[in-house]
Structure 1
Amino acid sequence: MPQLLKRIIFISFLCFFCAVKAQKTSTKKESSKSTLLELEEKKIIINAYGLMNNGEDKKAYKIAHHLLKTSKTQSNLPNTNLLLAYYFNKRSLIDSSLFYTNQALKFSKSKNDSLSYRLSSLGYNLLAINNKKRGLLGESKKWHLKGIEVSQKFNETDLYYTHLHGLALIYSSLEDYNNALKLFKQCLNYKGDEELIIGSYINISDIYGILKDYEKSNWYLNRVKKICEKKNDFQAKAVIAYSLASNYLSQNRTEEAITLFNEAIQIADENELPQIAINAKLSLGIILLENKKAEEAKNIFTNALKDAIHLGYLKEQGEIYNNMKEISLLQNDYKSAYAYANKQSKIKDSIAQLQKDKEINELEVKFKTWQKEKEIRLLQIENKANALEIKNKEEVLAFLNLQKEIIKKRHENKILSLHSVYQKKAMEINSLKKDQQLKLAEIDWQKSTQKITFYSFLAVILPIIGLLFLYYQKLKTQRLLNIKEKTISEQKIMSLVKDQELKLIKATIKGQNKARTKIAKELHDSIGGNLAAIKLQLNSVTTNVDSIHNIQKQLDETYKQVRDLSHNLIPEKFNQNNFSNILEEYLKNLAEIDHLKTSFTAYPKPKIDLIANHLQIEVYKIIQELVTNTLKHARATTIDLQINHFEDKLNILFEDNGIGFDSQKKKIGIGFKNIKERLHTISGSMEIDSIINRGTIINIDISLTK
């Protein structure tokens, strides 16, 4: 029986060993199989990301969507969800992009390694972008700051600059342009992402455009345009067209702005970039609304509103409803205006509510976390209390044992304590003597240091006072010299202005004298002689047909001479259809004055050259009057003249950078009165915009139909 039992135990142990070995081999096979599947799926995802980067978005979407349904491993799901989130973000489908981003973050939180943190940083970037598109700038800013924190923690340079760029965009939207420019310029230092550099250039240009520094704005746009010419980046092209259009609009170059806005809309529509298209349509609608083209503006706003509602752009919806309200007020449709105002208010409320909901959710999460932490702390305290109780019991036992030993050694300690008291008193007496000696030495040292400090202070302060006095005297003399130099330079400027005025007056008088002499000569020699002959013939007039015929002939000739004389009085240069060249030559002659710079533009020149002669003369005299006023009063160093012919109007824009004046308080002088009288005769109007120390802008509109 014992032998049989031993055999049964041996056989069962052998079976158990074989079963365990078989199970281990099967688990090894399963794990190797799952690893192969994981690698295959990873290759598919990498391929899909490559397609997305090469512009084949729809192919990438199909692959990711199929993989999401058929995947047999959990490790590749975060990247698949993130790819779908990027796809929907690119098409501005915010809700879908947010859903897939949250799914990706949910899967990545289960792991705690550098790859999962990198994926979290990418997810935070998508959450920030989508919330910005919805108009939730505070929420967007929060996610970018989280992304920066994670990127710095794990030295993810590319993601750090991506979030830095996104944060700069938020600052720009919040009109904190100084911080925005600072961050965008930091992004230009990173050479690892060309798209990031392109975006930074464009955004820096937009900010300088808002700050009306158009020279810097155009410089940055031209830099990025050269980069985009090398690569076929449609999104950047659309944004550049939009930014240039905004600059032209700010510079009152409306026609060029409209052309570029339409170009941006076309590129955006062809390449599925709805946000750029909506913003361009908004700008076009505002231009039409300012030009009182209410119906055309309404059509554009309606079209943009459909896209904004479809894509969930709350901020753009609010702007469109506001503009639609303005159109309804222009058309006296107060019912519609009230309805649009209500819709705009609802949009604002929904943005505020979304922000509020986010805050409530965050507070709820924080509260639950706090509760869990509290429970954990209580358990930890209980464990510590139990441990302390056990320890106290052990210490009590040890204390009782020690107490017994202490009683034994008390008698020995009494003898030792008496001996130590005696030694202690002796040491105290010695220490008191030493302390007294040290105090005396310290008092002597303090007295000597005070004397040295006082004398060294005097040695330093006296030369400093002397130097300060000399420096004050130098500053005083320099200030007096500056005042004298300023008065001398002002006197020189006044003398130059007076000399220029005298030159203009002399030239005018000389021209007038020549014209008078010519008129007198013509009147005396030709017309006077003819009239005298006609008078003599009339005195001896008869019924003779020949004599009457001679008188008529002489009258015709006299009329022709008067007509020729009147035509000769019109300057010859106005009869050659080169009015633009005349004005340009006039301004070039002015530029010969050494302290004056001139600029002239005319568009379109052929149309301006073909306006009527009498109108050319009036316009020329008006410009002469404006230039004379500037030279006499403005102390300007630059004069800018623009003439534009559009539809049935002639627009003249005259600008100088002189001292300016308060147009509300200052009385109108003789020069401006003469200009107004001339404009009245040719159906024109004038607007004056001038502020002290900022220069003067004069805008003149002349109707060509009247």
Structure 2
Amino acid sequence: MLKILKLRKQANNSDLNISKRFEYAREAISLSKKYDKDSTVLASNRVLSWLFIVSGQYDSLYRVNKENLKISTRIKDSLKMAYANNNLGFYFAESNKNDSAYYYYYNARKLYELLKDIQNESNIILNMANIQESERDYIGAEINAIKGIEIAKTLPISDGNNLNLWAFNNLIGIVSSKVKRFDKSIEYHNKALEYAEKLKAEKYKYYKDFSEMNIAIVHRRKGDYDKTIQVLNNIKNLETLKEEDPQTYVSIISNLAYAKFLKGNFVSEEIENTFKTAYKFSIDQDIKVEQSIIASFISELYLHQKQIDSAQKYANIAYNKANEVGENQTVLDALILKAKTETGEQSKAYLYEHIRLNDSLISKERTNRNKFARIEFETDEILQEKEQISKQRQWLIFISVGLLGVLFFLYIIKSQREKNKELQLQKQQQEANEEIYKLMLSQQEKIDEARSVEKNRISQEMHDGILGRLFGARLSLDSLNLVNTQDAISKRSKYISELKNIEDDIRKVSHELNSDFVNQSGYFNMVNNLVETQMTAYNIDYTFKADSNINWDMLDNKIKIHLYRILQETMQNIYKHAESTLVDIEFYLDKNKLNLKITDNGVGFDQTKTKNGIGLKNIKDRLKEINGFFNVTSQINKGTSVTITVPNI
């Protein structure tokens, strides 16, 4: 078994030459069959199938994938069945057997859909839609392309997925153009262009040019030749495109010349030279589709110039080349040109052939539409038995999902309980914090009270003690002033004057010490510090004012705590949501009501649309505790104002 794995690994080694890789793959299959284990044979066959694809040996794909389909069906391996059907669809598509290709692709799609393999389902739908478009089942192609877009949009962003989205939109653009829904065609080609611009890999760089060319062609078919010329002239790097994507290059230059021709006011020699250059280039590069199209352009130019022989020559070339590659629209166009270059019965004969071919294509379109629908219907009937088996599996899945749902529900309940515990813990913590804050405020008040008592004591001591003694000394000196010598009088007068100065200074200090300290310490300072700290941290300019008539000492601690927290919460909300540069904060009295007004110049909000958040709920809860209320006014881009009112203080 280990040897088989090594052989498969060697077969997948791209560094080896292809013939050697085939040897390893066939040896792996031979050994696998000796083990007589289906899954082993299947895996080895898949390696060989992949080698046929990468080496372009499509004719050999059928046998190995038919065997893989048989084995995978026997062992009921849906994924390997999908792979085999996909490869068989590819084989028949390369063999131009589109009905068989569609059958196997459809089987693969149903299996990928069952397996929820959205990426591969998207790839298969694209192949099916391309087959329908080539068989002129335009309705079916568009339906599948739209379904493919819906599926692809659910996949993660990647180059591969963007490429599929480009292809689906491009296909709808092509189909819409063929049924002359030009505006819709341009819309979807523009969508394809958007996805082309998202492709990052170097190998996808010309998809943008291809989409722009398609847009230009639709504008040309619509009759908007100026727009066609504008779009084609905007395509850059034509020389690089000439080397790396010759078909797109020759299509661009020929369509540009054709648009100029259709617009009129052209230089015949210039247009003819461009057509001839493009035609020769398409021959050199063996691009038969473009040979037929450009030949029809040249024929139309010569017909316009009344050069009937040359017009006939290129009309015949266009007709023959288009028939060779199965380009029916060009065949139809060439028949019209051939009819215009002839007269009488011969001209009528070409017109009759045009009518016959067109009717045949319309009939084929209807037949193919029915054929593809019948393939899907018959395949679905075959799959019904398999679906019966899958229903049993679905029941098992439903039961499993149900059990998972119950487990998930129990998990949610457990999580909710844990969350409630966490919220309860947070609440307790908040209550503890507030209690601590109460103690801090109470302690601060005691400190302030002790300071006030001490200051009063010092003031009284200075007034009653020191001042009294100084006053007595001054009287004694006055009595000594009875000595009338000039020197004694002068000295005593000097001392007395100095004592008066000391007395005035002490009295001044006494008065200052005895003044009211309420507004200089305690709660007011704490609030002031809070505002200064937060506004500085938030880098927001502010003004803070308080009515001097407010007696903070008379306020209940509970009111102080809640006002402090409300102010803190409001400033945080301004920082988070308002985008403000200036905040005005003011405490003021209105009769017996204490008001706190906070105004910002931020972005504001629509009060009719904004729901109450946690912040507003907290403010309401706090105000309820102190019988307060609040009012919020706001306008978009004109800021917000919050007024807190506490009555009966």
TM-score by length of 2: 0.44
TM-score by length of 1: 0.40
